[in-house]
Amino acid sequence: MQLVEGEREEILACVKEVLGNNSKTRENLIPILQQVQKKLGYLPALAMEKIAEGVSVPAVDIYGLTTFYNQFRLNPPGKHQVKVCLGTACYMVGGDITLESFERRMEIKEGETSPDRRYSLDRVACVGCCTLAPVVVVDDQVEGKVTPTRVDGIMLALEENGESPGEQKSGTEEDGNNGEN
């Protein structure tokens, strides 16, 4: 994904700061990656290269780690992050159908971020509230018993509050039915 303006500088500064706070050993690699991801929201290729240089391990090892562990994401999170739980309990009551509804509404597949970085959609394995299945985490807010109709409601809410003044204006309209506010 294309870096946005000023992002390059932000990445470099962040990596520098995190490397400064940790001893640069292999054992600290995962904590370093976790801290960078926490600050940037994801691990851009540039950050991985710089960390590899800093800790003196081959860049391919970093890529190996970030693709091995589910926690690391290589594409930027959307302004609104939706995570659909596909743990056992959620799957049994149609979590996959919920995921599909989001894919249809956002016009992206799971694991992707919309080109305007407005939405990102992920599947997660169990958020630990199986009683409320199917569960969806919308911007850190857990929503229980999300049927496809509720998906429409959630999307509508996101579309509405996303257009408040002062916030970054999205490039494209998601559904065509959300006119200029």
Partner 1 sequence: MGKTNPQELYDKMRDQAQELVQAGKDKAQVFVGTATCGLAAGAQQVKENFVNEIEAKSLDAEVIEVGCLGHCYAEPLAVIAKPGFPPVCYGYLDEGLVHRLVEDFLAGDDPSYEYALAALERNDEFPTFEDFPRGVYEKKLILENCGFTDFSKIESYIANDGYSALAKALSEKPEQVLEEVKAANLRGRGGAGFPAGIKWEACVNGSGDEKYVICNADEGDPGAFMDRSILESDPHLVIEGMILCAFAVGSHQGYLYIRAEYPRAVKHVREAIEQAREKGLLGSSILGTDFSFDLEIFQGSGAFICGEATALVNSMEGKMGLPESRPPRLVEQGFRKKPTVLNNVKTFAYVPMIINRGAEWFKAIGTPESPGTAVFSLVGKINNTGLVEVPMGTTLRQLIEEVGDGLPNGREFKAVQIGGPSGGCLPQSSLDVPIDFDSLHEAGAIMGSGGLVVMDQDDCMVAVARYFLEFTQHESCGKCTFCRLGTKHMLDILTAITRGQGDAETLQLLKELSEDVRDGSLCNLGRTAPNPVLTTLKYFEDEYKAHIEEGRCPALVCRDLLLYYIEPPKCSKLCNVCVGSCPTEAIYTRDDGLKAIDQDKCVKCDNCRKACPPEYSAVIKLSPPVLPAEKERKAK
Question: Which residues sit at the interface with partner 1, rule CB under 8 A?
Answer: 25-31, 33-34, 64-65, 68-72, 86-89, 91-92, 94, 97, 100-101, 104-105, 124-133, 135, 142, 144, 147-149
Give burial (CB, 10 Å; 0-12/13-18/19+) of 146: buried
Task: Give me the residue label for tokens 């932000």.
Answer: 10
3-state secondary structure of 112: strand
Q: Toward partner 1, which CB reaches closer, 3 or 54?
A: 54
Q: Toward partner 1, which CB reaches closer, 24 or 173?
A: 24
Q: Toward partner 1, which CB reaches closer, 69 or 169?
A: 69
Q: Toward partner 1, which CB reaches closer, 98 or 113?
A: 98
Quote the tokens at residue 33.
């990656």
Of 108, 35, 30, the C-alpha closest to 75 is 108
Q: Toward partner 1, which CB reaches closer, 3 or 41?
A: 41
Q: How far is the CB of 7 from partner 1 (least distance, A)?
A: 24
Residue 143 zone, left/alpha/beta (φ > 0; ψ -120 to 50; rest) = beta
Q: How far is the CB of 105 from partner 1 (least distance, A)?
A: 8
Q: How far is the CB of 31 from partner 1 (least distance, A)?
A: 7
Q: How far is the CB of 120 from partner 1 (least distance, A)?
A: 16
CA 58 – CA 77 distance, rounded (Å): 26
CA 136 – CA 141 distance, rounded (Å): 8
Q: How far is the CB of 48 from partner 1 (least distance, A)?
A: 14
